[in-house]
Amino acid sequence: MEQTFDRRSVLRAGAATAGVVLGATALPTTALAAADPVFAHGVASGDPLPDAVLLWTRVTPTPDATPGSGTGPAVTVTWEVAADPAFATVVAAGTQTTGPARDHTVKVDATGLSPATTYHYRFRLDGAVSATGTTRTAPALSAAVARLRFGVVSCSNVPDGHFAAYRYLAERGDLDAVLHLGDYIYEGGGGAVRPHDPPREILTLADYRRRHAQYKSDEHLRRLHASVPFIATWDDHEVANDAWSGGAENHQPETEGDYAARRAAAHQAYFEWMPVRNEADRIYRRLRFGLLAELSMLDLRTYRSQQVGIGDGATDDPDRTLTGAEQMTWLQNGLVSSGAQWKLVGTSVMVAPLQLPPLSPELLGPLAELLGLPREGISINPDQWDGYAVDRRRLLATIADNGVRDTVFLTGDIHSSWANDVPRDAGLYPLLSRSVATEFVCTSVTSDNIDDILGAPPRTTSVVLETAVQALNRHIRYCELDSHGASVLEVTPAGAQMDWYYLANKTDPASALSWARSFRTRAGTQRVQSVGTPIGPLA
């Protein structure tokens, strides 16, 4: 029998939701007032196409229909897209029924839209109206685009700080989209700055739904989602730390059950709560922005082989993979056949080698193999592409042998900032092996990095490490291990530039951000160089 509810129940539900998802941390009054409590988790958009964009929200129709509860009535939600914020000119509208089977989330593909156009959207449930969101479609496939600007972020852990970096991106007002490169949520417990909900490691579908709800209740993240479309992929913490195809470092089957069941629950909650396009469990996908750029977003957790230890020669095993065979072929073919000038690749772990020191697999590889060491040198972090050397060699060979130019890897994961040339053979770079691509790595929004982990004052111990890293790896042009914040990428026909903006204090929700560094790769060069000024607004 269909359940019924009244307006008073709706208001009680909003208050209950806020309390559940935030645990001991209360949502600021200003954030609660930003939207009707039925739509307590805000609105979002994502994966823009020239004629369509995904729209997202979550409704709380009754007090018991809290995230992860599995209870509450099925309801029909109305959505509207308009050319103006007053909704005088509605260009698309429809309804979607949602209920406990999808945790009362709503995700619709608004189609029939015009390319390169800003739209406003909202949702309704009876008398309740959501906050108004702003989104933008991609340019037409054949359009000669003069400029694209993307926010670039990753690694946002609630217990480690506040999301002021998201607030900064929302306030800029000049972004076409935000690229989130993984670790949008974290699965652990703890609460040094803010407690997680639930206050423990999450394992079940209900757990993952509650955790997504908590993150979507953050004032700064809700504001950013409502202002610009997201293009996101996952890394490991959306499921468990150091995840691979058959398990994770942070999963113990004897006490936590079947890993496949845990991953399926995590993926289901992710697809319910995130405005991403997926085909069943497949999240790797490609988005086009006119003739200027094509973006390939990768999934580097679902198909990978288990990680090996530091210095393990198994990194050269041709049967081990990071991408899986199908995704690798899809990526190679896409890069070679792309009709866009810039080939952007969203990768959750770093591509450029980080070795002690880099070795040439052609010259010194046989000696390393004889000693049982990786042919390209000892990797500091075999969780990234370094631990899957054969896959990386396949990919870089495809780029080099087919004359693919203007490939830029956009990377998260390691809670630090990097600008890299990506040589085919790092051991022979730069004299005998050229760079075939470039890479920009954004730092973490909040997640701990070197100085946080060591308890050292910023810009002390890390400076020594940065100097050593760059001395041994000449293709690494920028390395900053301490700061947190957000990056902005601008792409034009002349070049691609990444600006890094750092937080003054990640534990302060009102923290300012300041510009730190900028690196640019000019069209046709496959090299990065430092530039002295950022693009767009400074504040």
Which pLDDT tens digit goes with each residue over 414-462? 999 999 999 999 999 999 999 999 999 999 999 999 899 989 888 998 9
Cβ proximity of 259 and 253 under 8 Å: yes
Task: Tell whether 287 and 368 lie within a shared domain.
Answer: yes
Residue 260 has pLDDT above 50, yes or no: yes
Say if 2 falls within a structural domain: no
Residue 21 has pLDDT above 50, yes or no: no
Helix axes 325-337 and 389-401, enclosed angle (nearest 10)? 20
Residue 1 has pLDDT above 50, yes or no: no
Residue 55 has pLDDT above 90, yes or no: yes
Region of 219 on the Ramachandran plot (φ > 0 left; ψ -120 to 50 alpha; else beta): alpha
Say if 456 falls within a structural domain: yes
CA dist., res. 346 & res. 200, Å (int): 30
**Tally of domains within the chain:** 2
Last residue of a domain, one of 136, 162, 178: 136
Mean pLDDT of 182-204: 96
Q: What is the pLDDT of residue 357?
A: 83
262 is written with which tokens? 């845990």
Task: Tell whether 125 and 176 lie within a shared domain.
Answer: no
Task: Tell whether 218 and 243 lie within a shared domain.
Answer: yes
Task: Tell whether 32 and 157 lie within a shared domain.
Answer: no
| Residue 230: C-alpha distances to residues 52, 211, 328 (Å) | 14, 19, 24
In 10 A of CB 363, how many CB atoms? 12
Mean pLDDT of 103-125: 98
Last residue of a domain, one of 104, 136, 168: 136
Give the CATH number, domain containing residue 26: 2.60.40.380
Residue type (1 letter), 109 = D
Task: Tell whether 211 and 283 lie within a shared domain.
Answer: yes
Instruction: Give the 3-state secondary structure of residue 137.
Output: coil
318 is written with which tokens? 């041709």
Q: What is the pLDDT of residue 35?
A: 54
Last residue of a domain, one of 136, 168, 194: 136
User: Could you read off the pLDDT of 477-506 as tens digits, one per residue?
Assistant: 999 999 999 999 999 999 999 999 999 999
Task: Tell whether 26 and 170 lie within a shared domain.
Answer: no
User: Could you read off the pLDDT of 150-182 as tens digits, one per residue?
Assistant: 999 999 999 999 999 999 999 999 999 999 999
Place 139 in a pLDDT band, splitting at 50, 70 and 90.
Answer: very high
Cβ proximity of 384 and 447 under 8 Å: no
Task: Tell whether 375 and 491 lie within a shared domain.
Answer: yes
Say if 143 falls within a structural domain: no
Residue 130 has pLDDT above 80, yes or no: yes
- What angle is formed at CA 481 by the lines to CA 480 and CA 485, rounded to 5 degrees? 80
Task: Tell whether 116 and 198 lie within a shared domain.
Answer: no
Residue 372 phi, psi dihedral angles, 5° rounding: 80, 20
Residue 331 phi, psi dihedral angles, 5° rounding: -70, -45
| Strands in 264-388 per DSSP E | 285-289, 293-297, 342-347
Cβ proximity of 92 and 237 under 8 Å: no
Task: Tell whether 92 and 194 lie within a shared domain.
Answer: no
Mean pLDDT of 360-386: 82
Cβ proximity of 288 and 116 under 8 Å: no
Say if 144 falls within a structural domain: no
Say if 300 falls within a structural domain: yes
Mean pLDDT of 241-256: 97
Give the CATH number, domain containing residue 286: 3.60.21.70
Q: What is the pLDDT of residue 368?
A: 66
Say if 322 falls within a structural domain: yes
Residue 97 has pLDDT above 90, yes or no: yes
Give the residue from 352, 344, 337, 350 showing the smallest Cα distance to 497: 344
CA dist., res. 418 & res. 35, Å (int): 38
User: Could you read off the pLDDT of 342-369 as tens digits, one per residue?
Assistant: 999 999 999 999 998 888 887 766 766 7
CA dist., res. 199 & res. 215, Å (int): 14
CA dist., res. 359 & res. 355, Å (int): 8
Mean pLDDT of 205-211: 98
Q: Which domain holds residue 515?
A: 149-531
CA dist., res. 42 & res. 131, Å (int): 7
Beta bridge partner(s), residue 440: 410, 419
| Strands in 204-283 per DSSP E | 230-232, 243-244, 247-248
Task: Tell whether 122 and 158 lie within a shared domain.
Answer: no
Say if 323 falls within a structural domain: yes
Task: Tell whether 511 and 418 lie within a shared domain.
Answer: yes
Please tell me the pTM assigned to this model.
0.92
Task: Tell whether 197 and 344 lie within a shared domain.
Answer: yes
Say if 538 falls within a structural domain: no
